[in-house]
Structure 1
Amino acid sequence: MAQDEPLDATTIVGASNVPKAKIYEVLNRLIDKGIVLTTMDGKKKLYMAVDLQTVIHKIKLDFENDIEALKQYKIKRTFTDEHIWTLKDESSIASNIEQLLEEADSSILFLAWNESMERYRELLEKKERQGVYVEVLAVGGLESSLTRQYSLIPLLDAPEPSQLLIVDHMYLLFAGVEHESWKAIKTMSKPIVKAMTDYFYHDVALTQITKKYGEQLLQDEEMERLLTRLIY
């Protein structure tokens, strides 16, 4: 049918591998999908394929619409999954972080190096505008409109980057670099979520203490060593 002239069903049967008994069923499906046109020529029904570029454009639009629908589809767990799930691959970890941020209803706690956090800055700002409580600690600093943000400037050469995300006091993702590859764990385990929430605020407190009293504290070598170990 991929030609400029309209054809009737009998001609299409002869030019295709579709059985005569099935031809109208197949044609009707193609019409419903919007890739075959139909008209009447007297008492004869004629069919003609839509232009190929139009079909390609339609398929592309349908695919993009399906992707958007999937993005909007949310599954909220009705149970607590105590398992600790492992993730590998930086792009997979980034996708999980973005999904958790998108689905946050009440709160977001996020600790990350500034290069990583910048990727999610606009999304974090959007969630705060929507009424979600957002609190972030950016190692290396971050320029944003967030109300509750803290910047930790490394005292010495910083270790490998890591990311800690806690959403709605329920969902946790912790990622770090091991042997030059990103790895992560993801869990809803209440003891782990609570422990890592304490860890987040432990680092926030140390960041503020260092910011306010850093010069005095770092004059003492032992205190400098302890602060460096505690923060990292």
Structure 2
Amino acid sequence: MADVIRLLLVDDDALVRAGLSMMLDGTGDIVVVAEAGDGREAIAAVDAHAPDVVLMDLQMPHVDGITATRRLRERPGAPEVIVLTTFDTDEHIVHALRAGASGFLLKDTPPAQIADAVARVATGGPMLSPGVMRRLMDRTVAQAGAYERARAALAALTPREHEVAVAIARGRSNAEIGAELLMSVTTVKSHVSSILTKLALDNRTQVALLAHDADLV
């Protein structure tokens, strides 16, 4: 029994928990030590049962899966967390991984793959479903492309215009920019106009977004 993985199931749907328990508890390598209906119960269950791995839903009452994952992973000796959900938007994936999840699977993942994921993360390895991995790769490529394009566009600015663009991205008004950069408001307006022309943009918000894409703020 020393090699058996202790698993906590967290989902607000009792039928989902029952199905997962039936599938995973019979593998021989995994024992479901507890179930929880939301993130708040999950934290209490971790304290009571010391699981090795938590299979965590995202959308739950009281405390959602992202918050529960973050709170658990901040603790010393925290269990590994695999998010198992029907939601696969970029936002959900990135937030879950940033919160400390070691895996992200969709609920239509075959039972054998879920069991394999539990075994992998129990030994410290990450586990993402193929679809999620592709989404992350596409997101990374898109972000890299946006970063390069933004950097290339901003290279057309003078050093002073560059400073003004960064100040715009930080939400500064013309008067605040003038005070920070020691120039008159009229000069700031002139720089802003030049920035918009050079970058072929329509407004300050677009300048701010470009500066964010270039990772300047």
Question: In which range does the TM-score fall when normalised by the shorter chain?
Answer: under 0.3
- Return the TM-score normalized by structure 2: 0.27
TM-score (norm. length: structure 1): 0.26
Greater relative CO, 1 or 2 (CA 8 Å, sep 6+): 1
Identify, as 1 or 2, the structure richer in helix. 2
Q: Would you tell me which structure has more strand in proportion to its own residues?
A: 1
Determine which structure has more spread, i.e. the larger CA radius of gyration: 1
